[in-house]
Amino acid sequence: MIEARGLTRHFGSLVAVDSLDLEIPRARIYGFLGPNGSGKSTTIRMLCGLLTPTGGRVTVLGVDVPGDAHSLKSRIGYMTQKFSLFGDMTVLENLEFMAAIYSWPRDRRRERIAELLANYDLADRPNQLAGTMSGGQKQRLALAAAVLHKPDLLLLDEPTSAVDPQSRRDFWAKLFALADDGTTILVSTHYMDEAERCHRLAILDRGAKVADGTPEALKAGMGMHTVEVQADDPFAAQQALAGTPGIVSITQLGIRLRVLIPDSVADPAGLVTARLETSGVPARCDVAAASLEDVFVAVTQKPRSGTP
């Protein structure tokens, strides 16, 4: 569905995307996970032809991009992180406008719009101004507009950044239904729970891909032990562990710490326990299953090739 080799984009001296390779299969949800500034949005804009790459090559749906990107218009749906429809038009007017933009056959527009209103829980508000809707309602309307023309590929740029958790869950249920019907979906996110739901994902850091695989495979191949520390004084425990040779990262989650230690250490829990006992900090230390957040911390802290 999408193949990229050496995809690169510079903005002056800034390397926004750095030699990115991608292979995205059909009818799957593929995620880009990374913080702001990691290159997610820039990559998506290059894939749909809105930005010209500085280097590399991209093929989307068998079409070279950006060379023949115009021919992809009717086959791609694109939803940005900000509500991009018309706030002073009604729900129905927005969908009718998008149907005209995509040249949806006039004799089938009413049927298609009625189907979308029902599928995206908007049937009770066709005459409501889009600008007066809640964040979750706007999100559903934007998604309905993006898939009105039944695209083969749906590109979503942090689509749930401004909605509540329930709306996010409902939104993902819609995405799974679209994928089951054959739509390929590329979604960027900085939410770990959303990344877990992707069939496959790439982790981006400072424009480079630092990991790629299914969530379970990424966790299994992290190359780190995760030690969970429960302490009455987690701050004191964190201070005691800081700077300890063999400890890559320490993250506090409430009264717990997540400590990452390379697989080469034979007794990771013993290492942490000994350090805390030496510092007089009472705590319980156990090896725990890796989370996707652990993977993210581990791969983004690895030194890059050519980096000191």
* Domain CATH for 159: 3.40.50.300
Nearest to 209 by CA among 2, 39, 54: 39
* Whole-angstrom distance, CA of residue 60 vs CA of residue 152: 10
Nearest to 261 by CA among 307, 300, 228: 228
Position 304 scores a pLDDT of 52
Residue 59 inside a domain? The answer is: yes
Counting Cα atoms < 13 Å in the Cβ hemisphere of 59 gives 8
Chain segment 243-281, per-residue pLDDT in tens? 999 999 999 988 899 999 999 999 999 999 999 999 999
201 and 273 inside one domain: no
pLDDT at 212 over 50: yes
* Domain CATH for 245: 3.30.70.100
Residue 185 inside a domain? The answer is: yes
Q: Considering the entire predicted model, what is its pTM?
A: 0.89
Number of domains in the chain: 2
Position 307 scores a pLDDT of 42
142 and 212 inside one domain: yes
pLDDT at 306 over 70: no
88 and 228 inside one domain: no
210 and 230 inside one domain: no
Residue 121 inside a domain? The answer is: yes
Position 308 scores a pLDDT of 39
Decide the pairing of beta strands 208-213 and 200-205: antiparallel
Distances (CA, A) of 177 to 76, 120, 157: 17, 12, 19
Q: Which domain holds residue 260?
A: 223-289
Label residue 305 by pLDDT band (50, 70, 90): very low
Question: Among 218, 234, 268, which residue terminates a domain?
Answer: 218
Residue 298 inside a domain? The answer is: no
52 and 15 inside one domain: yes
Whether omega for the bond prior to residue 245 falls within 30 degrees of 0, making it cis, is no
112 and 67 inside one domain: yes
93 and 210 inside one domain: yes
Higher pLDDT, 68 or 259: 259
188 and 229 inside one domain: no
Position 145 scores a pLDDT of 96
User: How are the residues of the chain apportioned to helix, strand and coil, as percentages rounded to the nearest 5?
Assistant: 35, 30, 35
Residue 140 inside a domain? The answer is: yes
pLDDT at 49 over 80: yes
Least confident window among 11-15, 26-30, 166-170, 231-235 = 166-170
- Placement of tokens 């040779």 in the chain: 245
Position 132 scores a pLDDT of 95
The answer to whether the beta carbons of residues 269 and 286 sit under 8 Å apart is yes
Q: Tell me the one-letter amino acid at 266.
A: A
Question: Among 201, 218, 235, which residue terminates a domain?
Answer: 218
- Average of per-residue pLDDT values in the chain: 92
Question: 264: helix, coil or strand?
Answer: coil
70 and 198 inside one domain: yes
pLDDT at 80 over 90: no
* Whole-angstrom distance, CA of residue 184 vs CA of residue 177: 11
237 and 174 inside one domain: no
pLDDT at 18 over 70: yes
Chain segment 135-171, per-residue pLDDT in tens? 889 999 999 999 999 999 999 998 887 778 888 889 9
Question: Among 158, 187, 218, which residue terminates a domain?
Answer: 218
The answer to whether the beta carbons of residues 221 and 230 sit under 8 Å apart is no
213 and 232 inside one domain: no
Nearest to 110 by CA among 121, 94, 99, 122: 99
| Beta partners for residue 7, in sequence order | 20
List, in order, residues 6 or more apart from 168 with CB less than 8 Å away. 160, 191, 194
Chain segment 85-122, per-residue pLDDT in tens? 899 999 999 999 999 999 999 999 999 999 999 999 99
Residues 49-67: what's their mean pLDDT? 92
pLDDT at 84 over 90: no
152 and 253 inside one domain: no
Residue 295 inside a domain? The answer is: no
